[in-house]
Chain A
Amino acid sequence: MKYIDHQSVAANTKSRIAKNLVLKGVFFAATMFGLIVLAILLYRVITQGSGYLSVEFFLNFASRIPEQSGIKAAIVGSIYLMLVVAPVSIFLGVGTAIYLEEYAKKSKGSTFIKINISNLAGVPSVVFGLLGLTIFVRYFGLGISILAAGLTMSLLILPIIIVASQEAVRAVPKELREASYAMGATKWQTILRVVLPASIPGILTGSILALSRAIGETAPLVVLGIPTVLMFTPDGFLSTFTALPMQIYDWTLRPQVAFHHAAAAGIIVLMALLIFMNSIAVFIRNKYQKRW
């Protein structure tokens, strides 16, 4: 007696295996799509922009003549901007993370703060620009300054830093804290001398990634009214400025192809900066992060 019809099973299996193979190819193609687009994007930017990369490109101000245009004001402005964003956002982010992880009790208040942070992370950056324009530029009277833009950017990346720092603080094992308490340390001593040093690699990694988001962010700066063509570098944090992504934006909008090449050169600089920051973050993560 035959319980299994081998022929029909074989026929059925064959088509199923074929289907599996075809769809594996489709899924692989989907995966490759993103990678190929990235490759094309980088290739285009490099071939268009590399001709404009020269020492003068870094030393010249923006100009009406594309060949003489440079990013001096933009790059100095971006550095100034980071000098505000980095301390403010890391201070606020780490403070919030420590409060939520170490002090906050499971109350409605702390749940509210957490929900608030995750919703804040979803607010479009252009809306943060409106906040900065109203509160920092007009209400606080900071004007279109590095400080106003820096504070706006700090609030924008705050949720990223908070979440990364929370994870880093949470990853410190309980035993370390308890050992510290057993030695007679107070709670704050424990946080300052045990928890924070142990979580610094995680905090730094998250912060650098957040800062690399801030350095490429354009929309809030446009909304704040940051100028694109400046013939001077800022002389203080209340000075007006321009930033690298603003300069790229301006050159992209111009109809002349030569300016597009200058924009591509600016993009190369921006992307190189991002890759540099990301490699530092990855380096810190790999070298210092402990698995407890």
Chain B
Amino acid sequence: MSMTEPKGTVSVQELIAKKSNRGLLAFLDKWMPKILFAIAAVSVLTTIGILATLVVETYIFFTHVSVFEYIFGTEWYPFANSPSYGVLPLVVGTLKITGIAIAVAVPVGIGTAIYLSEYASERMRRIIKPVLEVLAGVPTIVYGFFALTFVTPILRSVFPEISIFNALSPGIVVGIMIIPMIASLSEDAMTSVPSSMREGAYALGATKFEVALKIVLPAAISGIVASTVLAISRAIGETMIVAVAAGSTPGFDWDMTGSIQTMTAYIVQATTGDAGYGTTNYYSIYAVGFTLFLFTLVMNMFAQYISKRFREEY
């Protein structure tokens, strides 16, 4: 179909075509998606960088130390004259901290979430939630300072057999650090339970506690479990609190009162100058880092799986 134009008028198309910056605009519209894609690729490159770094250096480590000794060895003495590289003491140290932290954070965190979502007034919630966010925003070095100079002395005055560096104090403080995470994610899961379900239970004469326990908790369980698993992952990867307050003596036992070492704390100790470039100790940092990375990766993926697989849709 051809257009017939009356004389003396200008076509809008021509006007647009005449605009001087049209070329630049076309150029930008063509190339910006590609430039932005390149920027978005940085996050993927970061992951590849982390994986490549860890895998390559860990591989070199395993040309010095047998895989079997590393995974199943129960002695970690990298700085001894005849060093031994069994990672299990570091893993046990990490598990001690994580176990104590979870024992503190899960009851308190879920209790907080229930209070905020079921009992607290809107006003209360609006005051308490930001304060909990502050708790989540405290730098971990500050928590480390708190563990060493406040929690440890208190524990030692109650149980004199505890040494200055121990698992208990940093474990408790790591637990305090992850309370806001469990509380806020669990509360999100609980408030997204539709109120019609609560009201159904109230109509049958249930008390608030019964509603919380028998209606809201089961309905929100996937979110609560996912938040706990994420918190476990955070506790496993927590570095400064344990580096300051847990000590540096890896041990293959379940003693909570003595000095321990976690995977993260070893990385800090070894990179603070005790391991020269190219030595077995240098590569051991990456082997431990890789182990730590795998632990947290499995936990994170497990959390994602739970929240997807078991989510109740309303």
Encode contact with A along B1-35: 1 for CB under 8 Å, 0 otherwise. Answer: 00000000000000010000000011011001101
CB–CB B142/A130 < 8 A:
no
CB–CB A223/B47 < 8 A:
no
Residue A41 interfacial (CB < 8 Å):
yes
How near does chain B come to A186, taking the closest CB pair, in angstroms? 5
What residues on A are CB-neighbors of B103 within 8 Å?
none
A residues 208-223 in Cβ contact with B at 8 Å? 209, 212-213, 216-219, 222-223
A117 CA / B144 CA spacing, docked (Å): 28
A104 CA / B286 CA spacing, docked (Å): 35
- The A contact surface, by secondary structure, is helix
CB–CB A126/B239 < 8 A:
yes
Residue of A24, A26, A27, A158 with most partner-chain B CB within 10 A: A27
CB–CB A271/B236 < 8 A:
no
How near does chain A come to B300, taking the closest CB pair, in angstroms? 4
CB–CB A129/B209 < 8 A:
no
How near does chain B come to A31, taking the closest CB pair, in angstroms? 5
Q: How many residues of A contact B (CB 8 A)?
A: 86
CB–CB A35/B128 < 8 A:
yes
Q: Which residue of B lies closest to A29 (CB)?
A: B111
Of A44, A120, A125, A216, which is within 8 A of B239 by CB? A125
A41 CA / B147 CA spacing, docked (Å): 10
Known contacts A113-B44, A223-B267; A41 and B138 CB within 8 A of each other: yes
What residues on B are CB-neighbors of A188 within 8 Å?
25, 28-29, 32
CB–CB A219/B240 < 8 A:
yes
Known contacts A34-B108, A263-B145, A278-B137; A131 and B53 CB within 8 A of each other: yes
What residues on A are CB-neighbors of B135 within 8 Å?
34-35, 37-38
Residue A288 interfacial (CB < 8 Å):
no
* 7 A-B pairs with least C-beta separation: A124-B237, A216-B139, A30-B111, A95-B39, A27-B115, A99-B36, A122-B300
Q: What would be 11 A-B contacts, judged by CB atoms less than 8 Å apart?
A: A96-B40, A123-B293, A123-B296, A124-B292, A129-B271, A134-B57, A135-B49, A155-B46, A184-B16, A219-B140, A225-B272
Identify 18 new A-B residue pairs, CB closer than 8 A, beyond the known A31-B128, A34-B132: A30-B108, A30-B112, A33-B179, A38-B135, A45-B142, A45-B145, A99-B39, A104-B37, A116-B47, A123-B50, A123-B297, A126-B268, A126-B292, A155-B42, A158-B43, A218-B141, A249-B244, A271-B138
